[in-house]
Amino acid sequence: MPLNLTVNGQQHTVDVEPDTPLLWVLRDTLGLTGTKFGCGIAQCGACTVHVEGKTVRSCRTPVSAVGNRAVTTIEGLSADGLTHVQKAWIEEDVVQCGYCQSGQVMAAAALLAANPKPSDADIDKAMRRNICRCGVYQRIRKAVHRAAELAAADSTAGGA
């Protein structure tokens, strides 16, 4: 059954079973492999994407449930250049194997959009849904704070 889907601002028509998880439509049908498969049961966060700006575990989101809401993946997170989160991640040398990091970046971006100055406790609460087997958690904490600083500096510089 053909379904319409908006991903990173682009319209797609995909012919898949309605119960197909959004994850596999992104990866196998649309070739957007930045979104990762880690567990398939909403446990690890590797598959985190945004639907209308809110984090969603795409492995447990049937594509039919998305409707015409806008999906953003890691590939579409920024229209030009790197986001504050990505810059902070590079500055703090967060990544190791990197497999969890698309999901971590998407989760952190959503956290900062909702809470521009999160505390450590806020970060732990929001980011506990994302597993990192390389264990880079303390660098993630630091990088979220750094991203918040970068965003704040930018909005000041912009006269906002």
Partner 1 sequence: MAMKRREFLRDTAVAAGAFTLGFVIPGKVRAGAGEGAVSSAPFTPNAFIRITPDNQVTIILAKSEMGQSVYTSLPLIVAEELDADWQAIRVEQSKVDPAYNWPAFQMMITGGSTSVRTSWEALRQAGATARAMLLAAAAAAWGAPAARLVTADATITDPETGRSATFGEMAAAAAQQAVPADVTLKSPDRFRLVGKDQKRLDSELKVTGRATFGLDVAAPGLHYAVVARSPVFGGVLQSFDASRAEAMPGVVKVKQVPTGVAVIADSTWRAIKARDALDLTWDEQGNGGVDTDQMLQHYRELAGQPGFAVQEQGDFEAVAAQADQVIDATYEVPFLAHACMEPLNCTVHDRGASGGEGAEVRVGTQMQTADRAMAAGILGYEPEAVDLHTQFLGGGFGRRAAAWSDYVAEAAHVAKGEPWPVKTTWTREDDTRGGQYRPMTLHRSRLALDAGGRPLAWHNRVVGQSIDGFKMLGMEPENFDNAMIEGLKTQPYTVPLVNLEAHMTTSAVTTLWWRSVGHTHTAFMKETLFDEAAHAAGVDPMDYRLGLLEAHPRFVALLKKVREMSGWGRELPAGTGLGVAIEESFGSIVAEVAQVRVKGQKISVEKVWCAADVGFAVNPLGLREQMESGIIFGLSAALYGEITLKKGRVEQGNFNNYRVVRIDDAPAIEVEIIDSGAAMGGAGEPGTPPIFPAVGNAIFAASGKRLRSLPFRLS
Q: Which does 5 bind (CB under 5 to 8 A by kind): ligand FES, partner 1, none?
A: none
Choose which of 97, 117, 119, 154 interacts with ligand FES (CB under 6 A).
97
Q: Which does 118 bind (CB under 5 to 8 A by kind): partner 1, ligand FES, none?
A: none
**Shortest Cβ 21–partner 1 spacing (Å):** 6
Do residues 159 and 148 make contact, with C-beta atoms less than 8 angstroms apart?
Answer: no
Q: How is residue 120 written in tokens?
A: 């450590």
The 50-69 site mask, x for binding partner 1 (CB under 8 A), equals --------------------
Do residues 47 and 38 make contact, with C-beta atoms less than 8 angstroms apart?
Answer: yes
Q: Is residue 3 close enough to count as binding ligand FES by CB under 6 A?
A: no
Do residues 118 and 152 make contact, with C-beta atoms less than 8 angstroms apart?
Answer: no
Q: Report H helices in 3-158.
A: 22-24, 84-91, 101-114, 120-127, 137-157
Binding site for ligand FES (CB under 6 A): 37-40, 42-47, 57, 59, 95-101, 132-134, 136
